[in-house]
Chain A
Amino acid sequence: MNYFSEAIAWILDPANASGPSGVWARCWEHLWYTLLAVVLACVIAIPLGYLVGHTRRGRGLVVVSSGAARALPTLGVVTLVGLVLGIGLVAPMVALVLLAVPSVLAGAYAGIEAIDRRTVDAARAMGMSEWEVLTRVEIPLGLPLLLGGVRSATLQVIATATLAAYVGAGGLGRFLFLGLKTQDYPQMLASALLVVAIALLMEGVFEISERAAARRLHTA
């Protein structure tokens, strides 16, 4: 595992750490791309998921279309959108949001769907309006599954955000492509390790928030 230690050494080398194309800057960019993509995906998918989950309508359509979205080859999408909109952050962002939407959507509607019908009916019997049923019963109860969906979407986006560098944007993909094309394997592996490190960090954040959500659910 010679190149493995070389990769670690590359990451720890102070010469690579700072500056606009240093390790820290690229990590931030990567994290920023990831958060932006996931937040955008949530803005699109959560209301839609809640609508489907609450009304129990259009589920088939959502399943089929999110299945199809999952099957979209990301590299193909990045290049196609890039051809239309030019290089920069827009094309990879479109692809990343498309990548993240199915998981978030599934988490949002599955969270509501998994709730026992009787619980929801009881809430209605208590005189809650549909809006109250959604916001005070379904959304809190569905939170753990939603978080699970957002979590897997985030992981996928972190790994795939390397493609941003393919069309002139930043992120850890810059090291990946440069290392790979100049046969600088330590640099290339270093970028993969940093990607996994960011994933680990986000996993930690989700683990904590999922536990918090579960705790709230039990004490509520």
Chain B
Amino acid sequence: MKIRIAAALAAGVLALSACSSSNPLGSASAQPSGSTSAAGGGTLVVGSQQYYSNEIIAELYAQALEAKGFTIDRQYQIGQREVYLPELQAGTIDVFPEYAGNLLQYLDKDSTAKTGEEVIAALPAALGDTLRPLTAAAATDQDSYNVTNEFATTNGLTSIADLAKLNRTVKVCANSELEKRPYGPPGLKSTYGLDVEVIPVEDSGGPLTVKALKDGKCDTADIYSADPSIVANDLTTLTDPQSLILPQNVVPIVSTKVDDAAAAVIDKVSAALSTEELVALNALSVDKQQSSAQIAKDWLTAKGLLS
């Protein structure tokens, strides 16, 4: 889940009203909301989740498009899927960086896709007629189970399966929704034979979660794989030999207003975006405290995508 900090709550709350199969918020959110307006002519609206890394990727698209003469209206830091997906579907947002696995899971809860390829292949049908995915980037950003290096050495842990060596219920610091995720307690039990207790820390693997892990409040923590804090805090990411966790490739979702020319511009950005590059971009935001605009400008310039 790409939900960060309390952004998540808000977002989820929004969905509260969705009582039956349809989402009553859909039509409401479809109205041009706030400063959002279904701009006419050549303006494309680029949105982002309330997650700094997602905003950086959105800014990459935005600046690359501007360099090719498109006019861009930026709508960043929009809560979570429950908020922005209806707006995308209604056409008030045209370009949005998404994460393949979680998007598919959100759109189609019964999906059986396992590998990155299967997920990508299933997306167009799940998105319907008004939206389409462009080519996914190689970059991924997904849930991962991490332990402190010290804990890994002491207990001889390298893979998730090794957690069984602890011989007790494993405590995982994670967002509460992990409880219900296929790669959460049910999957860890059936795939790796682990008994797991989730300690909910609702900042999506943010600093509170890292602190709880280092304080020994839990054995392992669910942190996004592209998060620079994994390296910065000397954490070991446990390998997943049974491929329990769905790959989350970064994939641009676009509306019908995005023509072939615009799609080609975004494709070039995606083609250059690897996981290492994404972690480096995130680190600039976190360590150097640079704005997304600055980070995007420097990276695109270095890749020759602004000329």
Interface residues of chain A, those whose CB is within 8 Å of chain B, are: 2-3, 6, 75, 79, 82-83, 86-88, 165-168, 174, 176-183, 185-186, 188-189
User: Which residues of B sit under 8 angstroms from A183, Cβ to Cβ?
Assistant: 12, 15, 18, 82
CB distance A168 to B175 under 8 Å? no
In the complex the two chains form, is A181's CB within 8 Å of B175's CB? yes
* B82 surroundings in chain A (CB, below 8 A): 183
Chain B residue at minimal CB-CB distance from A176: B9
- Chain A residues lying within 8 Å of B211, measured Cβ to Cβ, are 82-83, 86-87
Q: Are B176 and A79 in contact (CB under 8 A)?
A: no
* Partner-A contacts on B (CB < 8 A): 1, 3, 5-6, 8-9, 11-13, 15-20, 82, 173, 175-177, 179-180, 199-203, 207-208, 211-212, 215, 217
User: Other than the known A168-B173, A174-B200, what 5 A-B pairs have Cβ atoms closer than 8 Å?
Assistant: A166-B6, A178-B180, A180-B15, A181-B3, A189-B16
A-B contact list, 21 entries, CB within 8 Å: A2-B19, A3-B16, A3-B17, A87-B211, A165-B176, A166-B9, A168-B173, A168-B200, A168-B212, A174-B176, A178-B176, A178-B180, A180-B8, A180-B16, A181-B8, A181-B12, A181-B175, A181-B176, A181-B202, A185-B19, A188-B16
Residue of A nearest to B212 (CB): A87
Name the CB-closest residue of A to B1. A181
Task: Name the B residues within 8 Å of A83 (CB-CB).
Answer: 207-208, 211
Q: Which of A3, A166, A176 contacts B19 (CB 8 A)?
A: A3
Complex interface: chain B residues within 8 A of A87 (CB): 173, 199, 201, 208, 211-212, 215, 217
Taking CB atoms, residues of chain A closer than 8 Å to B217 are: 86-88, 168
B12 touches A180 (CB 8 A): yes
CB distance from A182 to the nearest CB of B (A): 5
Q: A86-B211, A87-B199, A166-B6 are in contact. Are A2 and B20 (CB under 8 A)?
A: yes
Nearest CB of A to B220, in Å: 15
Residues of A near B20 (CB, < 8 A) are: 2-3
Choose among A75, A178, A189 the residue that contacts B179 (Cβ–Cβ < 8 A).
A178
